[in-house]
Amino acid sequence: MLRLLPLSTLLLIPAIIASPIDAPRAEPLPLIIWHGLGDNYAADGLQSVGELANETNPGTFVYYIRLDESPDSDRTATFLGNLTEQLEQVCSDLSAHPILSTAPGVNALGFSQGGQFLRAYIERCNNPPVKNLVTFGSQHNGIVKYQVCGSMDWLCKAYIGILKANTWGSWVQSHLVPAQYFRDTDEETGEPTLDYLESSNFLADINNERELKNVTYAENLATLDNFVMYVFENDTTVIPKESGWFAQTNLTSGEVTELRNRTIYKEDWIGLKKLDEKGALVFKTTPGPHMQIDDDVLEDVFKTYFAPKEAASDTRRPHHEQEFMEL
């Protein structure tokens, strides 16, 4: 004999089945990290960042972008190489990666020059797509002075010497990495020089500063959920440090033109205005000199921007609910 359940029990069962306690939790997106000048993908400091990301969001797959499997060669590639070709290699590597290529998206963390390189990846290929981009001390609006090398860093000193001698030469612009995000400006107006606009192999293109704009760049960057830019309060390596916020600095007067007052924003050359209008453009400062980052700052980034979101609840009536209601 079929035993009928009380109506109160029947009404309670669907609620139990659909309870958020039993709802599946979303897995964290993979995290890709691109290091800065003079560093390499296997460095202990960089690996510890990935470990902290996994401690904060368990199950995070971390991929350290590299241009060579040899750490020494990967470090050399931070000084020597054609950024257009390097980005093509990274785009190919990520799109073919067995885990990254099948993910619904990835988060991205860029340190120093790695930040603008990740932005260029988003603009130029973005496969797999980046959901949240966080950069620390990056040169988004370029540099006007080359960094000072360590006293025993002969590789750095050799390249910087060549850079200073002929920044806009075709060989330098196709071989020496920092020259390709150097941005020469007029001393009086602060506007980019003709040499920069005509000869820059990288920055003038990804910032869409030339007359002919690449609309795909703006479309791709505007798809981000968040673009978070950290500037170091006491940064004396990146000159000007405000470059990390896309600001333009007149070195003669010291006047800083903030991003929202610049044409790149007003005409939305690369999608920054669209990001800002949806609340996805975030300006942050962190204490200390260039690339001195406390773990609590990184942990806050991982919790705030890289934490997995709850799985979207299914608003359709559960199948079992329909069965019980039919009894």
Sequence spans of domains, the chain = 28-143+215-306
Determine the Cα–Cα distance for residues 113 and 313; give it in Å rounded to an integer.
39
Q: Write down the mean pLDDT value for the chain.
A: 87
Encode 57-94: b = buried (16+ Cβ within 10 Å), e = exposed: beebbbbbbbbeeeeeebbbbbbebbbeebbeebbeeb
* β strands within 149-250, DSSP E: 226-232, 248-249
pLDDT (0 to 100) of residue 154: 76
pLDDT (0 to 100) of residue 25: 65
Q: Which among 87, 121, 85 has a CA at the least distance from the CA of 106?
A: 121
Determine the Cα–Cα distance for residues 221 and 118; give it in Å rounded to an integer.
11
Structural contact between residues 34 and 177, judged by C-beta atoms closer than 8 angstroms: no
Determine the Cα–Cα distance for residues 126 and 218; give it in Å rounded to an integer.
12
pLDDT (0 to 100) of residue 12: 45
Question: Which tokens is 252 given?
Answer: 């003669």
pLDDT (0 to 100) of residue 1: 46
Distance of CA 270 to the CA centre of its chain: 14
Which string of DSSP letters, residue by residue, matches 225-267? SEEEEEEETT--SSSSGGGGGT-EE-TTT--EE-GGGSHHHHT
Looking at residue 309, the DSSP 8-state letter turns out to be: P
Domain 28-143+215-306: homologous superfamily in CATH: Alpha/Beta hydrolase fold, catalytic domain (3.40.50.1820)
Cross-strand pairs, 176: 80
Helix (H, G, I), strand (E, B) or coil at 137: coil
Q: What are the 10-residue block averages of pLDDT along the chain, 327 residues in total?
A: 46 45 73 97 97 97 98 96 98 98 97 98 98 98 83 74 83 95 82 93 98 97 98 94 92 87 97 98 96 96 92 36 30
Looking at the annotation, which residues are catalytic? 112, 235, 290
Q: Each residue of 275-306: pLDDT tens digit?
A: 999 999 999 999 999 999 999 999 999 999 99
pLDDT (0 to 100) of residue 24: 57
